[in-house]
Amino acid sequence: MKLNISKLTQYKFKEPKNKYLFIIMLLSIIIMTILLPTSFLRGSNIQSMASQFPEFGFLALAMMLAMITGGIDLSVVAAANFTGVVAAVILNSANTAGMPAGTAIFLSIIAVLGIAVLCGLFNGMMIAFVGVPPILATLGTQGLFLGLATVITKGYSIGGFPDAFMTIGNGVVLGIPIPFILFVIGAVLVALLLNRTKQGFNMYMLGTNPTVSRYSGVDNSKVIIKTYIVTALLAGVASIIMISRANSMRPGYGSAYLLQAILVVVLGGADPDGGFGNIPGLLMAIITLQVTQSGLNIMAFSPFFRKFMWGFALLLVMAINFIAQQYGDYKRVKRMKEQVAATAS
Amino acid sequence: MKIKQLFRHSETYVLFIVILFSAFVTAINPAFLTLENLFDLLRSSSGTAILAIGIFLVLISGGVDVSCTTIAIVGQYISVNVLIATGFDNIWFAFAISMLLGVTLGAINAVFVSLFKLPTLIVTLGTSSLYHGAMLEFVGTKAVNVGGLPQSIKDFGAFNVLNVSRPDGSTFGLSVFFVILVVIILVTWFILKFTMIGRGIFAIGGNLEAAKRAGFNTRRIQFFVYMYAGLLAGIMGVMHLSLIRYSNPNYLVGTELSVIAAVVLGGARISGGSGTITGTMIGVILITILEKNLIMIGLSSYWQQFFVGLVLLIGVSITYLQAKFQDSGRRIIVKEEE
Amino acid sequence: MAEVFLEARNISKTFVGVKALDNVDLTIGKGEIHCLIGENGSGKSTLIKIIGGVYKADSGIIRIEGTELRGMQAIESIRAGIQIIYQDLSLFPNLTVAENISVNQMLESNQQKVNWKQVRETARKALAEIGEDIPLDERVESLSVAKKQIIAISRALTQNAKLIIMDEATSAITSEEVSHLFSIILKLKQRGIATLFVSHKLSEVFQIAENITVLRDGKLLGVYPSSELDEEKLAYIMTGRMLKFEPYRYDEQMKDPVPLLEVKNLAKAGQYRNINFQLQKGEILGIIGLIGSGRTEVVESIFGIDGADSGSIMVSGKEVHIRNPRDGMRHGIAFLPEDRLTQGLFDVQSIGNNIVITILKSFLKKSRMLDVRKKKQAESEWVEKLSIKTPTPANPANSLSGGNQQRVVLAKWLATDPKIFILDGPTIGIDIGSKHTIHEIIRDLARQGMGIIMISDEAQEILDNCNRILVMSGGRIIREIKDSTTISRDELLDVIAKRVETGADA
């Protein structure tokens, strides 16, 4: 059994940690299936899981990109709120003014993406040009974006969108929820960005050591600004899914996603110090979380218990990572010393 | 020279902003600069200031703590429920429970930070979720409103150490909260300035490796920092309860970022090792008047978050732009008079 | 010899199968200035850590003034009067001078409270002991490395030090500061405090040391009074072979009418000025000077790390404007930086990624996507070309030895096919064997027509590998040696130390 897994993983997993993640994911699915033999693997449950996680999955994608460059984006949820509120205002007023639904949806999506680019540009410039650490820059813009969202809505929620808009969040194609399809597309695009583009390559390098990347001719500022623009764009997509699923928008919606996003990103193998993070790991972490959450939900555990579980899981994973790394370092040092000894004699 | 040095610190700028803003608010609405309003500001911001001191200590030691507000609400909610359940209606008892909880939860933070050496932001994000979730799940979710609140807590909230009467005969006063804050400021200042453990907090924030080599017990210092921050959060929890006379287990959580903003605005370095309590208090004052007094100049309270974010961005921008220019000027090799 | 202070006998230490120290002795007299010298990896730092009680020796004994150190614990060594000043100095940048100096004493006395009067008094006294005057309330982060060093020494004095061990104390300070440091060491000697000076630089050793202990591969090679040795002999003892080899000869036929690189009146405020030189195809131009002479700053400007304020740079006769490394690369310039670990190499990333970062553009398909196959191919090609010892380019760079890591950095730049290659300290921290092969690679490149600028601390390395030499000091070029065979090592060292009239710029 042990041998099998190691053989299997030898070829499949580029990232060593993904091996453990894969096992954890399988275990969580198996446990839920055993505990809930009738309800868990039912089509309707799978469908509902697939439509639940994308809005938060997009935020996690965004967070991972920031973390790969050695930063963090505390403003993702706020950016989603801000863009969402703007979209909601457009949709709502278009609806009451009798504008055709298609035009309104088109306008709102353009607005979301346009504002997202501006949000990301602002974050990126604060970090790249002013030199503010990402944690402080995005802490500030979090207040800024959320504040703007609140000012626009005066704290109320905005609803009443064209029916066509609702299909984005609630529609189904061939039994597959549209948010899920969007997420798959998003994840594939981000994976391509990371593994197949110069920007992605440079993000990993910059995250590992910005001085070395500068000395290697990488335009660090450009890489950082682009990263935070993509991050904000992903938050924008999340906001479109959010508002169309809920059929309304209120500032502060989804604030719990911030922690969850950081959690799955770290769980998925990204290093808060930068330089590491990959889509397969992140997907497995998201699936693990969604499966656990849905299972606990069916078993009628409260959302509070889930909150507790998330915190617990985050700390547990980090602690295990630490211990595993110490052990790995120890083994590596030992191996290297032995090699040195072998060549010396 | 002295003045030039003063302007190297961002708290000087922040103090200026505070003064300008106060002058501005007073010009528009003279009610701002009245003793009554000031007393009221002190009463309502003492709790935030106490939380800020805890977070300040953590920042000095080179970490970040986003779990303080959660610890405060856990301390508050559990202590009020214990008071109700036992019928032992005593404010000291409430403080004792809340402080004990705070210290314990702080110690758990320290275990992950110190023993597992994990990034403090992520640890405290995790523990705040853990603590809050556990409390909601295992203790309860129902809010305690003023009718069900133990009398001692209501009395404590209304207790003034100094009373001033208005022309019409009614009185207003300086709340006991302010005294608690002053005591905590003095104690913390003394610890930081005059004890080895206090210097150790600065030392580990400045150079952790060197601190170990010099012989500081870095583990003990980290435990102290997080437990002290937890203790202050516990105190704040009960104060907050007697201030608003309502215990909602979902309150406070989510406000930690504006407290951190206050501390950073006050000049504490996010990378650790540097900052002053005075600066922290100036930062708290700024955040408080921004949050509480926008209405006085005719802006709705919805602008609050926006301005806090804006001021934070301006504050840190000044600090880091200065650092950038100082850095490029430092590598002087050639002596021009040669 | 005077009264013995420290005596270490038959010290051995093994780390997981590797003998780091094998039967090593070390004797230091009271107030003696002793030098411990050896190549990287010779066991110097292991030995001082054992004396300092950081490591425990497997066998052997250490006696301080006749009494044996039994526990071999850090605290025991400190109580016995041994203080180690590590290369990083272990100071607190955010604290004041006074506090940095007295912190160890406060911890030592186990006090819980801080008496600020006493803190200042302790610091003042310690500084006065070596005749220094540094503002007590200054924060340490705003001081120069040399001043920081003085603070570290003062801190050691507060601990009643009788032996101060300085680990690579001169690697980051200027020549004037080095002589100042030496004057402090002499003052310590007058007070009966011994100094163990740990170094791998030969030139300084003779200026200060009374006795020299030489280590190689964990073994003691001998103890010599410094009067009996000269640098050449010492180098021979250290490395076990004569290092002399054929100097690089420049083939004048390669010379073009238009120089490959020409720098005119380059200046940068506070760093360097009046920099003029040319570089021809096939030349290896050496730039030598002490730390702070401006040598690194000049080449960093030419590559674009930190652009110059004024002056012009011409590549193949055309004036170019270089404001960032990308500009430099576009004009065919490559730059191997001084500090491999913080500037040259992504230690945890794969060897392959380290190499291809400079040429990523060439793998982009029309769709702007990377051609991964082509990228992998290039990675393997370069690993093979420079014979980097690794099973696969996918292994992290930190799995390699220093010499192989440097080859990765070389590969990264050679992949850009540069016309001009600037190498700042190409063999720092690399063992002798690898050093030789890296020199060979550099010479080959020059023979093929590349123009090379090489910076080094070591006069011998420059003399052996460069056909022309520029000597820098105080941000200026103080002398050009047109033919490196016309100058001896000693003469060159004299020029560097400004012991002879240069006439060039006076």
**C315 beta partners:** C261, C318
Q: Does the CB of A222 have a partner CB in chain C at under 8 Å?
A: no
Distance CA A116, CA A135 (A): 19
The CA–CA distances, whole Å, from A124 to A193, A270, B317, C11 equal 18, 20, 13, 56
The CA–CA distances, whole Å, from B12 to B4, B21, B100, B319 equal 11, 14, 37, 11
Residue B306, judged by CB atoms within 10 A of its CB (0-12, 13-18, 19+), counts as buried
Q: What confidence score (pLDDT) does residue B327 get?
A: 54
Distance CA C468, CA C492 (A): 12
Q: Does the CB of B248 have a partner CB in chain C at under 8 Å?
A: no
What residue has token string 């040429």? Answer: C359
Domain range C246-332+420-506, its CATH number among 3.40.50.300, 3.40.1160.10, 2.30.31.20, 3.40.50.720: 3.40.50.300
Give one DSSP letter per residue of B295-319, joined into a string. Answer: GGGT--GGGHHHHHHHHHHHHHHHH
Q: What confidence score (pLDDT) does residue C399 get?
A: 80
| Chain C residues inside the 8 Å CB shell of A344 | 18
Q: What confidence score (pLDDT) does residue A7 get?
A: 36
Q: What confidence score (pLDDT) does residue A338 get?
A: 58
| Chain B residues inside the 8 Å CB shell of A140 | 261, 309-310, 312-313, 316
Q: What confidence score (pLDDT) does residue C503 get?
A: 43
CA nearest A218: which of C328, B34, C495, B239?
Answer: C328
Q: Does the CB of A137 have a partner CB in chain B at under 8 Å?
A: yes
Confidence at A331, pLDDT banded by 50, 70, 90: low
Q: How far is C60 from chain A (nearest CA, A)?
A: 22
Q: Does the CB of C108 have a partner CB in chain B at under 8 Å?
A: yes
Residues in chain C: 506
Task: Tell me the two tokens of residue B148.
Answer: 């069900």
State pLDDT tens for residues A59-74.
999 999 999 999 999 9
The CA–CA distances, whole Å, from B284 to A278, B252, C201 equal 40, 16, 54
Q: Provide mean pLDDT across the span B113-129.
A: 89
Distance CA C33, CA C131 (A): 19
Which residue in chain B has the smallest CA separation from C114? B194
Q: What confidence score (pLDDT) does residue A2 get?
A: 36
Q: What confidence score (pLDDT) does residue B63 get?
A: 93
Higher pLDDT, C161 or A95: C161
State pLDDT tens for residues C13-54.
887 666 788 889 999 999 899 999 877 667 888 898 888 888
| Chain B residues inside the 8 Å CB shell of C95 | 199, 202-203, 206
Give one DSSP letter per residue of A190-211, joined into a string. Answer: HHHHHHHSHHHHHHHHHHH-HH
Q: What confidence score (pLDDT) does residue B331 get?
A: 43
Q: What confidence score (pLDDT) does residue C402 get?
A: 77
Mean pLDDT, chain A, integer:
85
| Chain A residues inside the 8 Å CB shell of C353 | 201, 204-205
* pLDDT value at B50 more than 70: yes
Q: What confidence score (pLDDT) does residue C269 get?
A: 86
Residue C341 has a CB neighbour count (10 Å cut-off) of 14
- Cβ of C346 and A209 within 8 Å? yes
Confidence at B9, pLDDT banded by 50, 70, 90: low
Q: Where are the extended beta strands (E) located within chain B?
A: 160-165, 171-175
Which residues are CB-neighbours of A334 under 8 A, at least 6 positions away? C16
What residue has token string 């010396």? Answer: A344
Handedness of CA C373, C374, C378, C381 (dihedral sign): positive
Distance CA C327, CA C334 (A): 11
Alpha-helix runs per DSSP H in C159-294: 175-190, 202-208, 231-239
- Cβ of B209 and C90 within 8 Å? yes
Q: How far is B43 from chain A (nearest CA, A)?
A: 25
DSSP conformation class of B167: T
The CA–CA distances, whole Å, from A79 to A156, A194, C110 equal 18, 22, 52
Which of the given ranges, A201-205, C40-44, C500-504, has the highest pLDDT on average? A201-205
Higher pLDDT, C150 or C248: C150
Confidence at B300, pLDDT banded by 50, 70, 90: confident
Q: pLDDT > 90: what percent of chain A?
A: 42
Domain boundaries of chain B, sorted by first residue: 42-265
Q: Which of B133, B257, B300 sits opposite A311 (nearest CB)?
A: B133
Q: What confidence score (pLDDT) does residue B8 get?
A: 61
CA nearest B102: which of B141, B73, B125, B126?
Answer: B73
Task: Tell me the two tokens of residue C417.
Answer: 């096919």
Q: Which of B270, B313, B320 sits opposite A144 (nearest CB)?
A: B313
Which residues are CB-neighbours of A342 under 8 A, at least 6 positions away? none
Residue ranges of chain C assigned to CATH 3.40.50.300: 4-239, 246-332+420-506
Q: Are A219 and A227 in contact (CB under 8 A)?
A: no
Q: What confidence score (pLDDT) does residue B333 get?
A: 43
Q: How far is A340 from chain C (nearest CA, A)?
A: 7
Domain C4-239, CATH homologous superfamily name and number = P-loop containing nucleotide triphosphate hydrolases (3.40.50.300)
Higher pLDDT, C231 or C87: C87
State pLDDT tens for residues C237-296.
776 655 556 778 887 777 888 899 999 999 998 889 899 999 999 999 999 887 778 889
Q: What confidence score (pLDDT) does residue C499 get?
A: 56
Q: Residue A277 carries which side chain, given as an amino acid letter?
A: G
The CA–CA distances, whole Å, from B43 to A226, B166, B240, C137 equal 46, 18, 10, 37
Higher pLDDT, A37 or B55: B55
Q: Does the CB of C113 have a partner CB in chain B at under 8 Å?
A: yes
State pLDDT tens for residues B182-215.
999 999 999 999 999 999 999 999 999 889 888 8
Q: Going edge to edge, which strands form the sheet with C468-473?
A: C333-336, C420-424, C451-456, C284-288, C468-473, C476-481
Question: Buried (b) or exposed (e) across B36-60, using 16+ Cβ within 10 A?
Answer: ebebebbbbbbbbbbbbbbbbbbbb
State pLDDT tens for residues A246-289.
888 888 888 878 888 988 898 888 888 889 999 999 999 999 88
Task: Tell me the two tokens of residue C250.
Answer: 């420049």
| Chain B residues inside the 8 Å CB shell of C475 | 333-334
Confidence at C314, pLDDT banded by 50, 70, 90: very high
